[in-house]
Structure 1
């Protein structure tokens, strides 16, 4: 597999490699996800399960009018669990992503993949840079969202005024165009984490922009297909769970398990696509030369006589 990663790959090959890595290193990937997100997933499942039990308990439900359902949901503890999950996602996702990037990097080099704890330890050594660059990236994206929202409103008003008959169609086109612009900049900047993890730059967004030059449509297609696959897997699993005679906490725990199982898939595709970008940037050639002829070091330049 490492030889394959050292060659430029198309969308189909990146998806295939991603699922091979997912299957081969399943336990390590699950360990990384559970160590970082397990407690929050469990709390979320328990509170959701309690809410579901309350909603299915008709005797208790009769005590609430239609306008009093909100207090029932609040009693389930949803608000603070969502808040904790958001904090965990903000502070731990850079570590999770970096750990999976290190895993794929070891596979690419043909080395033995470290344990989940060792991969996490490698990531935490760069935690300050990973978190700081993630905050910079988040602020950039918030700026883009604000700019795009303002531009969308202005253009929508202008289009609606200039073209009353087809104004609705043009407004939709403007919104789609602005969403596309947001995804374009997201994909161009999102590869900052591996750059920071390997200590190439302190922020990494500039390096990400240069790496993804000319690769937007390939990356867009990759993540679109992967998101559809994950959506279909969750849809089928949810349909099967709906047929089972279970509810409450057990149902919520099974839903949590599905989320845990599908969580690493997108991260692996991200890591594989990053190394594909690096190969296209020249890294693969250096790696292959060092493997084929490890002693073929270029001779030193001749001394310059004064």
Structure 2
């Protein structure tokens, strides 16, 4: 909140960007502005909800025998010891059943809490769009009020995606079987070509359907699949491009953190903690980007609806 008070001009620029359809570069610019200026608020949301999970996870690994600062495996040289620390899993293999169940349980809880954190950020960005002040605790409460709707929507989305994936797999398998074993080279080439085509189409389809989450959280439409399809109409390619940029950034940051710290710390609890914090940061940036994209789609959709209403009114009054 303080960052926005420091510059009325910055607040006015962001309001103008929010309230008009944004170009590709404007969405990226607004995403990084918000991530920078509201970094503390957004990270608080993720740390409050997921921080305790990471602490408990670290405790379980420590109790399983993994070193906190630096984990090394067998070997005669430093580099070999570091590499073997990621291969050797003896401490976890000999851990109690309770520790294994603890890791699984924490993983399941985090799966439930990540969408809540993302929903809270979405609420926060929507408050910023309206020029409203907000408290971290309030947006978290708003997010929990949509818990069951989010859970149901995610389940529906999973089964829709699973069904869509199943169709090309069955189609490719049937075609390959019909070609027979004597055409093995042609079958391999066909699998590669069809696999690439189906994968590309699959990613575009996910892009069209992915805004079901924003529809559930802000529009209170569950499961939101049809709503997402309507909102993303005529915007598939720009949205797909934005997703690529965001996930390239995630991949670059993740690779840099895991490689640099991994060479120093090995597969230690400290490395796990650092990786988790990096994951929270990248997830926060992508969530802010998703929020800006979703609100931009709503702005465009509302503008289109208003235009259609005006066209109908003019047509009826001729």
The TM-score range, normalised by the shorter chain, is: 0.7 to 0.9
Q: Within the alignment, does 1:182 sit opposite 2:220 as a pair?
A: no
Trace 1:287-306 onto structure 2 (pairs within 5 A).
Answer: none
Find the aligned partners of 1:120 and 1:7 in 2 and give their Cα distance. Answer: 27
**1-structure distance, mates of 2:243, 2:182:** 37
Q: Deviations over 1:168-221 (max 9, x none)?
A: 332111112222233233222221122222344232111111111111111111
Structure-2 change in CA distance of 1:70 and 1:155 (3 Å) = farther
Counterpart residue number, 2:244: 224
Name 2:44's counterpart in structure 1: 31
Question: 100, 118, 122: which is aligned to 2:121?
Answer: 100
RCO higher in structure (CA 8 A, sep ≥6): 1
For residue 15 of structure 1, the aligned residue among 3, 8, 28 is 28
Inter-CA distance 160–212: structure 2 relative to 1 (3 Å threshold):
farther
Correspondence list, 1:1-306, <5 A: 1-47=14-60, 53=67, 56=72, 58=74, 72-75=91-94, 79-80=100-101, 83-112=104-133, 114-158=134-178, 165-244=185-264, 248-282=268-302
Q: 1:172 to 1:32 in 2, by over 3 A?
A: same
CA pair 254-261 structure 1, distance change in 2 beyond 3 A? same
Q: Larger deviation: 250-259 or 78-87?
A: 78-87
Alignment RMSD: 3.1
Contact 2:71 2:265 in 1 (8 A): no
Distance in 1 (CA, whole Å) between partners of 2:36 and 2:140 is 20
Question: Contact 1:6 / 1:284 at 8 angstroms: preserved in 2?
Answer: no
Q: Give 3-state SS (helix, strand or coil) of 1:202's partner.
A: coil
Q: Once the 2 structures are TM-superposed, how far is the Cα of residue 155 of structure 1 from its aligned partner?
A: 3.5
**Most deviating of 146-155 and 209-218:** 146-155
214 and 285 in structure 1: CA distance in 2 versus 1, 3 angstrom threshold: closer
Normalised TM-score (structure 2): 0.75
Aligned residues: 277
**Alpha-carbon spacing, 1:165–1:258, altered in 2? closer, same or farther (3 Å):** closer
* In structure 1, distance between residues paired with 2:304 and 2:118: 22
Q: Does the Cα contact within 8 Å between 1:94 and 1:134 map onto a contact in 2?
A: no
Q: After TM superposition, give the deviation of residue 11 of structure 1 in Å.
A: 2.6
In 2, Cα distance between the equivalents of 1:120 and 1:136? 23
Q: How far has the Cα of 1:41 moved from its partner?
A: 2.3
- Taking structure 1 as the reference length, what is the TM-score of the superposition? 0.78
- Structure 1 residues without counterparts, runs of 5 or longer: 60-67, 287-306
1:47–1:153 CA distance, 2 compared to 1 (3 A): farther
The CA distance in 2 between the partners of 1:264 and 1:152, in whole Å, is 37
Distance 2:40 2:160 in 1: 35
